[in-house]
Amino acid sequence: MGGDGRREAERQIEELSRRIGELDHAYYGLDAPLVPDAEYDRLMRRLEELEALHPEFARADSPTRRVSGEVRSDLPAIAHPRPMRSLSNALDDEEARAFDARVAQALGREAVEYCCELKFDGLAIRLRYDGGVLVEAATRGDGTTGEDVTPNIRTIRGVPLRLSHPVPGTLDIRGEVLMYRADLERLNERQRAKEEKEFVNPRNAAAGALRQLDARVTAERRLHFFAYELEWEEGSEPRLPSPRPSPSGSGEGVGEGASSVPTSQFDLLDRLAYLGLPVCTLRERARGFEGLRAFYERVAAARSSLPYDIDGVVFKVDALADQRELGELARAPRWAVARKFPPEEALTKLLGVEFQVGRTGALTPVARLAPVFVGGVTVSNATLHNEDEIRRKDIRVGDTVVVRRAGDVIPQIVGVVADLRPGDAQAVEFPTRCPVCGSAVVREEGEAAARCTGALVCGAQRKQALVHFASRGALDIEGLGEKRVEQLVDAGIVAGPADFFALQVDRLAALDRMGEKSARALVAAIEGARNPELSRFLFALGIRHVGETTARDLAQHFGSFEALATASEEELLAVPDVGAVVAASVHGFLREPRNRREIDRLLAAGVRCREQAAVRRDGGLSGKSFVLTGTLPTLTREQAAERIRSAGGRVTSSVSRATDYVIAGSEAGAKLAKANELGVTVLDEAGLLELIGRV
């Protein structure tokens, strides 16, 4: 390689070493990762490649020559009796196959037996037991020196303070401290309530909890521990009690409770569990590469159902004698490898933000990304949730962002790499007009979502709005269910409610699964809906916050649609039980030009609302609450409800202590039982008519 190439290699080695050092400090020292693990692994692998090509430029303090990590200056330091090394990675089947081939060749075997375990995404810990009593706990730190977290470890209920069976001498046990996903969610809920920083993932939450100066803080955060290794100096092998008699000829154990030296990794884990240490039960013995791959695939399929995060599996040569023969490299043992899953997080560029309109009018920002492979697929879009989430994470167009995709979960942006932000990054601006129909977009106080106000005309909301318009509580047009409405919209026959009233028999009869008889019945049903009660018409329009009861209150107060359509917000607030939110919603809906054009089309199609008389609010039923249940002898429920409302009463759907009367007919069920339980007055139809007649 020429001089320019050598200088470039030297520059890259220096830059990579510096960057990895920054990332190590953020991850291990501050418990605040800057990039996903996959990006860190990519940088480390590139540095290893360059140093292999140019060993003359490899620094003595290169990150490739030590275990990543550091010791915090505010925690006591503890030297490890033996270095706590990390594991080499296998990123695909070929690298896992190559690992198996190297091991088999070194041992002179055709096939090697392995112990397959999970690779936890937590914090590596060494526990020391002296005479069976926990006396010391330390983080991995930089591999040779860790932090003393003994008081904090003692707060983890799964870690025994005394082993359940006596073991003489000293045991140094390695394992992982982690936080379950559900516990992270509860912790972040508390953090939000206190307006404090939330944790990005369970691993960093566990690290932050374990490295507290005050162990009481650790105790408040539920942590777990899994043991997976026991270390000892050669020639001082520990004798451990066995959990069960040895299978004939296996050489593992000499009888239940008897002590002997473990001969395999699998046997060692069984014995650690027998001592009362938490050991993961999801482990298997496997033979050769095909066995390793089968375990990997089974765990990958079950990964999302686990209560904790893992980022791969670990393959260890099972026989401990074989492990000693294979030995270790500077950073990792030759007898083990971590088979990593495809990264669930990756870095990419945010190219832009588009806005999708849902069936209810809610606007969802969608990130358009430079394509990136994450979670086993190539991702180019991710959800940004809502405006508050974008502002909280300070996401800007042009940023380098962290994209996460776990299992079948919709990809999402979990953070920004702030130190990679370009100078021309732009803030995300939310539209004031719907990107689909151009109607005004509003965001009501206390709500996370912004919404399009053009419910009647917005293409994104069209099908749901039309189904609602024809539904039972609205215009009640029989035959216009969800599937029929979808068919009419997809065929281009109906775009808005007014189009229902222009449907012709011959056009409908030509549709699939319709026929002339069904077409005539549908047209007749539509004709019968041309003169709805004002309350039904108002409810049919789909005005946000206007249910059947509010629609009835508005209709009875104003009497006609013309009076309601010209009412000011102050006049709307004069309607009993109508507050500022409802008044603003009604006023804004009826003044949105696109909505008014569709309403004018309805009126032009011959739709005329029947006026409704004002209720007797000063009558004897004023302020009284009623619930109807069962079948009445002569009145339908709607007829009975109308009589109650005309006398000033209110009809609700559920029984509570605030209910004044339950009107019960035949086959009344749970509502009648609830009324009897609460002591609510129960009347039959005759009793209701008598009560109304007295007022």
Q: How confident is the model over 577-610, as pLDDT tens digits? A: 788 989 999 999 999 898 999 999 999 999 999 8
Per-residue tokens: 679? 């002591």
Q: Which residue in 344, 308, 309 sits closest to 36, CA to CA? A: 344
Task: State the Cα–Cα distance between residues 690 and 311, nearest whole angstrom.
Answer: 72
Q: Which residue in 454, 419, 461 sits closest to 439, CA to CA? A: 454
pLDDT of residue 380: 92
Q: Which residue in 310, 145, 314, 152 sits closest to 217, CA to CA? A: 152
Rounded to a whole number, what is the distance in angstroms from the first to the last CA of the chain?
104
Residue with tokens 């080499």: 88
| pLDDT bracket for residue 5 (50, 70, 90) | confident
Task: State the Cα–Cα distance between residues 311 and 316, nearest whole angstrom.
Answer: 16
What φ, ψ does residue 635 adopt, rounded to 5°?
Answer: -100, 140
Is 119 one of the annotated active-site residues of the chain? yes
| pLDDT bracket for residue 254 (50, 70, 90) | very low
pLDDT of residue 682: 94
Per-residue tokens: 361? 């009018």
Top-confidence residue, 459 or 96: 96
Question: What strands, in cross-sheet order, belong to the sheet with 170-178?
Answer: 133-139, 123-130, 170-178, 224-231
% of the chain beyond a pLDDT of 90 = 47
Per-residue tokens: 693? 């007649």
Q: Count how many residues are written for the chain.
A: 695
Strands 170-178 and 123-130: antiparallel
Nearest 10 degrees: CA dihedral of 186, 188, 192, 197? Answer: 160
Catalytic residue among 119, 316, 340, 671: 119
> If residue 37 lies in a helix (H) or strand (E), which one and from where to where?
helix 37-53
Task: State the Cα–Cα distance between residues 565 and 590, nearest whole angstrom.
Answer: 6
Question: What strands, in cross-sheet order, belong to the sheet with 681-683?
Answer: 650-652, 625-629, 661-664, 681-683
Average model confidence (pLDDT) across the chain: 87
Whether pLDDT at 29 is above 70? no
Whether pLDDT at 253 is above 50? no
| pLDDT bracket for residue 251 (50, 70, 90) | very low
pLDDT of residue 613: 61
CB 541 within 8 A of CB 599: yes
pLDDT of residue 72: 53
Top-confidence residue, 166 or 422: 422
Top-confidence residue, 311 or 236: 311
Q: Is the dihedral of CA 348, 352, 357, 361 positive or negative?
A: positive
Whether pLDDT at 248 is above 50? no
CB 521 within 8 A of CB 492: no
Q: For the chain, give me the number of helices (H) and strands (E)?
A: 24, 26
Per-residue tokens: 72? 């915090």
pLDDT of residue 650: 82
Mean pLDDT value of segment 213-238: 82
Mean pLDDT value of segment 66-75: 58
pLDDT of residue 255: 54
Domains of the chain: residue spans and CATH:
3-65 (1.10.287.610), 89-340 (3.30.470.30), 345-427 (2.40.50.140), 451-604 (1.10.150.20), 625-693 (3.40.50.10190)
DSSP 333: B
> If residue 397 lies in a helix (H) or strand (E), which one and from where to where?
strand 396-397
Whether pLDDT at 68 is above 60? no
Q: pTM to 2 decimals?
A: 0.53
Considering only 185-189, 452-456, 615-619, which range has the smallest mean pLDDT? 615-619
Task: State the Cα–Cα distance between residues 591 and 281, nearest whole angstrom.
Answer: 64
| Burial of residue 148 (number of CB atoms within 10 Å: 0-12, 13-18, 19+) | middle
Residue 229 bridge partners (DSSP): 174
Per-residue pLDDT tens digits for 306-337: 999 998 999 999 999 999 999 988 778 999 99
Task: State the Cα–Cα distance between residues 24 and 30, nearest whole angstrom.
Answer: 9
Whether pLDDT at 552 is above 70? yes
| pLDDT bracket for residue 235 (50, 70, 90) | low
Q: Write a three-state SS string for 478-490.
A: CCCCHHHHHHHHH
pLDDT of residue 112: 96
CB 595 within 8 A of CB 439: yes
Per-residue pLDDT tens digits for 169-221: 899 999 999 999 999 988 888 888 888 878 878 888 888 888 777 777 787 88
CB 695 within 8 A of CB 617: no
Q: Which residue in 387, 237, 381, 226 sits closest to 310, CA to CA? A: 226
Q: Which residue in 519, 523, 496, 509 sits closest to 604, CA to CA? A: 496
Per-residue pLDDT tens digits for 375-403: 778 899 998 888 888 998 899 999 999 99
Residue type, 327: G
Whether pLDDT at 548 is above 80? yes
Highest mean predicted confidence (pLDDT) among 17-26, 67-76, 218-227: 218-227
pLDDT of residue 228: 96
Mean pLDDT value of segment 143-147: 90
Whether pLDDT at 258 is above 80? no
What φ, ψ does residue 366 adopt, rounded to 5°?
Answer: -120, 125
Whether pLDDT at 2 is above 70? no
DSSP secondary structure of 398-432: T-EEEEE--TTSPPEEEEE-GGG--TT-EEPPPPS
Residue 652 bridge partners (DSSP): 627
Whether pLDDT at 26 is above 80? no
CB 198 within 8 A of CB 185: no
CB neighbours of residue 312 within 10 Å: 24
Mean pLDDT value of segment 502-528: 92
Nearest 10 degrees: CA dihedral of 118, 224, 179, 293? Answer: 10
Task: State the Cα–Cα distance between residues 75 and 304, nearest whole angstrom.
Answer: 35
Residue with tokens 């791969």: 312
Residue 136 bridge partners (DSSP): 128
Considering only 229-233, 351-355, 478-482, which range has the smallest mean pLDDT? 229-233
Task: State the Cα–Cα distance between residues 224 and 205, nearest whole angstrom.
Answer: 12
pLDDT of residue 59: 77
